[in-house]
Amino acid sequence: MKPVLLCLLGSFMGLIPAWGHSARPPLAMTGARGGLTCNICHSGTNLNAGGGSLKVEIIGAGKYTPGAKHTLRVTLADPTAERWGFQLTAQLSGAAIQAGTLNLVNPSETVKEEESGLEYVAHRADGTRPGQRNQVTWDVDWIAPPQGAGNVAFFVAGNAANRNGNEFGDKIYTASAEYAADSGDTQTRSYALPQIAFGGNANTDGKWTTTLYFTSTATSATAFTVDFFANNGSPMPVPFGGGTATSIPVNLTAGSTTAIELSSSGALTQGWAAVNLPSTVKGFGIFRQDVTGRSPSEAVIPLAEDSKQNYVMVWDDTEFTTVMAIANPGGTPVTVNLTVRLANGNQIGTGAVNLGPKEKTAFVLRTQLNLPAMQGASGALDISVSSGKLSVLGLRFGPTAVTSMPPAER
């Protein structure tokens, strides 16, 4: 009897200069799975027979990404309406169970309420758009449920009202939309940081610190592991937790960020790092070099997907020295082919580097390829393997600073 009482109250209030439920409609009126709709109060035409239309959709997506934020759009159209209202809910397909989290985009026009474990977003009085003709839209943010939740159904009811101050003559519409999870976006991807350096002597080669940063955009906890390798491909101990470890576990809560800092104490140690990241986690590295007598220098190092086989990278030896770091993230030996071109496109030299499984090397480019013509010039370097994996990073060393020169996939 609760909906009837609400309707009677709405009808009585409609006799006063007000709109029955302009502030917000009663809860659970979306018509979900054959349930109640706004037409128990508003009359004029049969449900969905007013000559207009209603739809709900995820903007810009045919599937939802588990754990990610999407924007839902409700569109209500009617050629005769002059005031508008809606109510929306998100539920798991086939069950009256809340799916994800609904959040307000415009709190002055919409309101969020809960009943029996389900969330509802609906219009406020300021969101009824009095006097607007033909069509209106409302946007609602939605945080999708985690992987494994299955299909999600959105249910919405809309009121295309005639603005006569009561519930008579209004047109009620309902709509629903079902979305599946995009499983491809939840797969992990393999990344590498092809150069790690920490420790050293500030009076000679400088003291190095490498810091890895990771941030999560997910709405649930995420866990992964960062593995460290020496130049010869063996597991490399790095400072961690008061001791050392060759692998460091990372646990990120929803929306959190963490940093792994490999300190500058001890002897200079070099290697590389590998990590499998879900699509909801982003990361990068920062090198810091401290040399006696000058200000510290830093370079940002992007994480690179390690499944690529062909790259091109700009080199610059005009007043600098280009250093290469190349890692083989795979389990089989590779031959890395190098082709050097000047800025005008002319090829001036080639070379090859052999790397065993998980091995990494770093070298001054013009020295490795015996190309003194590179000094004082700039150009591009083609880097490729015919099979296997490859991860590449360029570093430009100047008199007072070091800068990263990331390659681009060919």
pLDDT (mean) for 354-383: 95
338, 366: one domain = yes
Q: How confident is the model at residue 19 (pLDDT cuts 50, 70, 90)?
A: very low
Domain termination site, one of 274, 305, 336: 305
Indicate if 162 and 211 belong to the same structural domain: no
Same domain, 53 and 132: yes
Q: What is the pLDDT of residue 136?
A: 96
Across the range 389-397, mean pLDDT stands at 91
In a shared domain, residues 263 and 324: no
Reported as a single tens digit per residue, the pLDDT across 198-246 is: 999 988 878 999 999 999 987 677 888 999 999 999 999 999 888 899 9
- Of 154, 184, 214, the residue that ends a domain is 184
User: Within this chain, do residues 314 and 345 fall inside the same structural domain, yes or no?
Assistant: yes
Mean pLDDT value of segment 263-288? 91
The pLDDT value given to residue 33: 83
Are residues 137 and 17 located together in one domain of the fold? yes
Question: What pLDDT is attached to residue 168?
Answer: 78
**What does pLDDT average to over the chain?**
88
Neighbours of 114 (CB within 10 A): 11
- The answer on 159 and 26 residing in a single domain is yes
Residue 39 has pLDDT above 50, yes or no: yes
| 301 shares a domain with 170 | no
| CATH number of the domain encompassing residue 257 | 2.60.290
User: Of 54, 52, 84, which Cα lies nearest the Cα of 162?
Assistant: 84
pLDDT of residue 355: 95
305 versus 363: the higher-pLDDT residue is: 363
Instruction: Indicate the number of domains in the chain.
Output: 3
Torsion angle (degrees, nearest 10) of CA 48, 50, 51, 53? -50
Average pLDDT over residues 67-83: 93
- Let me know whether 239 and 154 are in one domain: no
Q: Name which of 134, 137, 133, 142 is nearest 123 in CA terms.
A: 137
Element (H, E) at 295: none
Output the pLDDT for position 2: 34
pLDDT the model gives residue 10: 35
Domain with 118 in it: 2-184
| pLDDT at residue number 51 | 92
Residues 178-188: pLDDT tens digits?
A: 999 876 544 67
pLDDT at 68: 84
Instruction: Say whether both 93 and 148 belong to one domain.
Output: yes
Identify the weakest region by mean pLDDT among 118-127, 187-196, 329-338, 388-397: 187-196
Asked which of 271, 305, 339 is the last residue of a domain, the reply is: 305
Does residue 262 have a pLDDT over 60? yes
CATH number at residue 320: 2.60.290.11
DSSP at 331 = S
Where does the pLDDT of residue 13 fall: very low under 50, low under 70, confident under 90, or very high at 90 and above? very low
CATH number at residue 165: 2.60.40.4060
**What local confidence, expressed as pLDDT, does residue 169 receive?**
75
> What Cα–Cα distance (Å) separates residue 124 from each residue in 23, 84, 196?
5, 10, 55
Asked whether the predicted pLDDT for residue 316 surpasses 60, the reply is: yes
The residue among 310, 326, 296, 298 whose CA lies nearest residue 394 is 326
Q: Phi and psi of 368, rounded to 5°?
A: -60, -40
* Residues 9, 92 within the same domain: yes
Q: Are residues 346 and 265 in the same domain?
A: no
12 band by pLDDT with thresholds 50, 70 and 90 = very low
- Averaged pLDDT for residues 313-342: 94
